[in-house]
Amino acid sequence: MNQFQESLNELIIENNLNKLKLAQILGISSNTLSGYFVKNYYPRIEIAIKMCNYFNCSLDYLFGITDKRKPEYTFDNSKLLNNFNNNLKSLFKKNNLSVASAMKAMQLDEYTYYNWKKGKFPNTTNILVVSKFFGVSIDFLL
């Protein structure tokens, strides 16, 4: 079980839920929720945020990055991509990195970055990569 699976399973148990009930709360199918446990993939970030809002925990806690549960940030879904792009730009600048060098170091192609700039939301795996590379919380990025 990966950290995300462990955290989510713990939160389900602590809240006396079953996976079917949680799927209903999140507005996803039970097969989708099961996939997070069986197929070892991450939810879209919007679903992860719904989980955090329901369980009152941070994204960093949900993904096993920290033991600190309480969220420091609140999320406005309409501003997530803009926040992500602005925070990423400031991290490039703060670390004196060009887009090309940073993306190469993260093993992501520049095309991915330009898709983000054009309005395509990064997938959860890419958000985790960026968070780890810069040593910042997922909550901060979004």
Segment 54-84, tens digit of pLDDT: 999 999 999 999 898 888 877 877 788 899 9
Reduced to 3 states (helix: H, G, I; strand: E, B; else coil), residue 95 is coil
Q: Which helix (H) or strand (E) holds 12?
A: helix 3-14
Longest dimension (CA), the chain: 47
Task: Dump pLDDT digits (tens) for 16-52.
Answer: 999 999 999 999 999 999 999 888 889 999 999 999 9
Look up residue 52 and give its amino acid: C
Q: Per the confidence metrics, is the pTM higher than 0.85?
A: yes
Cβ contacts of 38 within 8 Å, gap of 6 or more: none
